[in-house]
Structure 1
Amino acid sequence: MLRVLYLVHDLSDPAVRRRVMMLRAGGAEVSLAGFRRGENRLADIEGIAPLELGATEDARFARRLLAVVGAAATLGSRLHTVARPDVIIARNLEMLALANKAAAHFGGAIPIAYECLDIHRLLLRKDLVGGALRAAESRFGRNASLLVTSSPAFVENYFKPLSKIRAPVHLLENQVLELDGSADKLPARTKPEGEPWRIGWFGAIRCRKSLALLSDFTRRMNGRFEVVLRGRPARSEFDDFDGLIAREPFIRFEGPYRNPEDLAAIYAGVDFSWAIDFFEEGQNSAWLLPNRLYEGCRHGALPIVLAGTETARHAVQRGVGISLADARLETLTAQFTAFDGDLYRDLHANLVALGPRPWIIDRADCAAFVQRLAALRQPGAQPAAPHPLPSLVATKVDAHDR
């Protein structure tokens, strides 16, 4: 059985739980170590008691780097109870820095997979900060045997032209994890007469511009459209998230959910999925393929996407969803003013015809990924030299950067 040490920057991130589930379903034995984010309680993840390396905060990138430096100093002693892994997966840049230290602790010769599912805006800066972070990524990633990323646009727009990471790329999209083998077909949908249209915005709620646009839109439509929010609000990105929601007559927040267990139920309650993100507009937001695209399509909610983004390209290529030409209120209003049940049924028929397969990861996919990781083992490989960490924080970084 392949032994995997998974190093993560946020143990409370639901995506971490899904990756652990995927690795175990593929036949791997997983050890988990990482940082606790803010006040989130540390809890077992799929029966695994994670090894806590420290605490960090949202929107405090410099503090995160300092936490990594502190964790590096004691990493060897913390890992003494962990069996020697066959592969180390490092989720995000700060964990890539620790992966080399971990490999050295176990005697080296352990392949490292760099999992990068977002391109932080600091990495794209053209000043000393951006240059320093890309140099750190290059240094810590020079021993990486595999780059795992979730969108081809990340490769084309960052890893090829800017990053010095030269590891082979494994594309692992944010598809819905389905391990029970059912993969039921999508049923046809109709909207009950007199009911408002409902837009679901589920997952990481971090985009102020989206919330402002949807607030203006639902008010303009005077109750004909409602918005339901579920997931984890990034409260550091909003002046007063709870207050903002309380003041909106047609928007409500219904709390967190379990992924993938609750997906069918929460998407059954909405007609559309908001698959637009302006959090890092023109950069990461234009390149990503978000979880909600796959989740909504798998469970019958038509995605609303923004033209010119990788999300829109993905949706339009498959003939699903509603693409907005731009992010103006007038455009969104014009798109939906004449929207009716007949048009919805026609668009939804395209989604039903595709079936669930484009949107899911099953046990066979999990096994294939674990086999890809197992293939990284190279008998006779030389131990990797540990890298010192101070260069990662040598450049002054705005303490309010995420």
Structure 2
Amino acid sequence: MLHILYFVHDLADPAVRRRVLMLQAGGARVTLAGFRRDDNALAAIHGVKPIELGRTRDAQFAQRIAAVAKSALQLRRLLRSVDKPDVVIGRNLEMLAVAKRAKSIFGGDMPVVYECLDIHRLLLRKDVFGGALRGLERHFGTDAALLLTSSPAFVEHYFRSRSGLDLPIVLLENKVLALEGGDAGIAVTPRLPSNGEPWKIGWFGALRCRKSLELLADFSRRMGGRFEIVLRGRPAYSEFSDFDGVVRDAPFMRFDGPYKNPEDLAAIYGEVQFSWAIDFFEEGLNSSWLLPNRLYEGGLHGAVPIAVDGTETARFLTSRKIGLTLKEADPTHLAELLGNMNEERYLAAVNALAAQDRRQWMTDHTDCQALVQRLASLTRTSGQTAELQALPQLHRNRGGLQ
């Protein structure tokens, strides 16, 4: 059984739980180690007791670097009870550095994999600091055996053009982990509001975008109760001046707390007609390039996705002739897009979703096994040429990724 040592930046991140479950479903044994930013019982993984490297805080880059440096000094002691792994994965740049340190502790030629699912804005700065950070990424990542990333736009706009890394790449989209019978029982069915009830827009997942919060609050006020905004997930309070206050003062917005992914997805998406698949957190950069979890979650569960023009998410939807695209990111244009929503328009949008291949939204056992097999192949081969690769069983977002 392949033994993977997985270093993560936030043990409380539900996406970490999903990746560990995916690796386990593919047949790997996973040792999880990382930092904790807060407590989140919903991110716990049955049978996995993580190795905690310390505490970090959102939006505190200097504190995170100090915590990583401290953990590197203590890593030999922290890993003393861990069997030598076959593969080491570092999720995000700082954890890649820790992964490289772990490799030196264990010795040998075990492959290190760089998992990068967001391009941090600091990496994209054009000043000396940004150049230095990219230099660190090249230093730690140059001899990595593989790069895992989640959007073709990350490859196009960063890894191939700016990063200086020349690695084999696996495109691993943020699909819904569907291990219990695949898509059996998940049907895309219309859910028209009952008489007098509002249309509902769900914004679920990592809530970190102040602009989205304010835009949706303003829009719902303008609509006078015709639309309700439902928020679920983990707010990044460091990114908001007063998240709770904005929600409290918005008459047609509510926050219903965290949820378990993937177990609760059907229930929470089944309550809404539309999914907010927009993120302005790093507008024009990472936010324009990513393909968010909520895109796949909403698509699978029949919530019509809303994207903003000029983003990778909008291109994804346009190429499939599904979803709704916002021309400009402001309440006025959102009101123009949704203000005349009626039964006919909504049913047409839902039917377009229902006609899609369900597998483009899901990761199943076959996909999990393919990922673990790809990681296992790293232990048997060396000197691979740097070419863009995608898992054969995973659907690609658009042509050109071979």
Q: State TM-score, norm by structure 2.
A: 0.92
How many angstroms apart in 2 are the aligned matches of 1:330 and 1:223?
16
1:372 shift after superposition: 0.5
Change (3 A) 1:220 1:20: same
Q: How does 1:11-30 map to 2 (within 5 A)?
A: 11-30=11-30
How many angstroms apart in 2 are the aligned matches of 1:44 and 1:330?
41
1:193 shift after superposition: 2.9
How many angstroms apart in 1 are the aligned matches of 2:357 and 2:218?
34
How many angstroms apart in 1 are the aligned matches of 2:146 and 2:381?
17
Change (3 A) 1:247 1:42: closer
1:343 shift after superposition: 0.8
Of the three residues 200, 209, 227, the one matched with 2:202 is 200
Specify the alignment match of 1:247 in structure 2.
Answer: 249
How many angstroms apart in 1 are the aligned matches of 2:329 and 2:321?
21
How many angstroms apart in 1 are the aligned matches of 2:333 and 2:303?
21
Decide which moves more: 253-262 or 337-346: 337-346
> Which letter maps to 1:173?
E
How many angstroms apart in 2 are the aligned matches of 1:239 and 1:331?
25
Of the three residues 283, 289, 292, the one matched with 1:290 is 292
Contact 1:175 1:361 in 2 (8 A): yes
Specify the alignment match of 2:215 in structure 1.
Answer: 213
How many angstroms apart in 1 are the aligned matches of 2:334 and 2:91?
36
* Structure 1 residues not aligned, in runs of 5+: 382-402
SS of alignment partner, residue 299 of structure 2:
helix
Specify the alignment match of 1:70 in structure 2.
Answer: 70
How many angstroms apart in 1 are the aligned matches of 2:382 and 2:358?
43
Decide which moves more: 321-330 or 10-19: 321-330
> Which letter maps to 1:212?
E
Contact 2:12 2:39 in 1 (8 A): no
RMSD over aligned CA atoms reads: 1.5
Decide which moves more: 121-130 or 346-355: 346-355
How many angstroms apart in 2 are the aligned matches of 1:74 and 1:312?
45
How many angstroms apart in 2 are the aligned matches of 1:44 and 1:123?
30
1:243 shift after superposition: 1.4
1:288 shift after superposition: 0.2
1:294 shift after superposition: 0.2
How many angstroms apart in 1 are the aligned matches of 2:295 and 2:44?
28
How many angstroms apart in 2 are the aligned matches of 1:42 and 1:332?
33
1:360 shift after superposition: 0.2
Q: How does 1:291-310 map to 2 (within 5 A)?
A: 291-310=293-312
How many angstroms apart in 2 are the aligned matches of 1:47 and 1:106?
24
Specify the alignment match of 2:389 in structure 1.
Answer: none
Decide which moves more: 36-45 or 149-158: 36-45
* Structure 2 residues not aligned, in runs of 5+: 384-402
The structure showing larger relative contact order (alpha-carbon pairs under 8 Å, at least 6 residues apart) is 1
SS of alignment partner, residue 16 of structure 2:
helix
Change (3 A) 1:149 1:102: same
Contact 1:188 1:348 in 2 (8 A): yes
Of the three residues 278, 281, 286, the one matched with 2:283 is 281
Specify the alignment match of 1:95 in structure 2.
Answer: 95
Q: How does 1:132-281 map to 2 (within 5 A)?
A: 132-184=132-184, 186-191=187-192, 192-281=194-283
Q: State TM-score, norm by structure 1.
A: 0.92
1:190 shift after superposition: 3.6
1:38 shift after superposition: 4.1
1:338 shift after superposition: 1.2
Contact 1:44 1:50 in 2 (8 A): no
Contact 2:17 2:43 in 1 (8 A): no
Decide which moves more: 335-344 or 273-282: 335-344
1:45 shift after superposition: 2.1
Change (3 A) 1:344 1:55: same
SS of alignment partner, residue 231 of structure 1:
strand
Contact 2:188 2:350 in 1 (8 A): no
Of the three residues 364, 372, 375, the one matched with 1:373 is 375
SS of alignment partner, residue 90 of structure 1:
strand
Contact 1:186 1:355 in 2 (8 A): no
1:334 shift after superposition: 0.9
1:379 shift after superposition: 6.6
Specify the alignment match of 1:345 in structure 2.
Answer: 347
Contact 1:294 1:360 in 2 (8 A): yes
1:84 shift after superposition: 0.6
Specify the alignment match of 2:399 in structure 1.
Answer: none
| 1:27-64 per-position Cα deviation (integer Å, ceiling 9, x unaligned) | 00000000011466798523110001111001101110
Decide which moves more: 33-42 or 272-281: 33-42
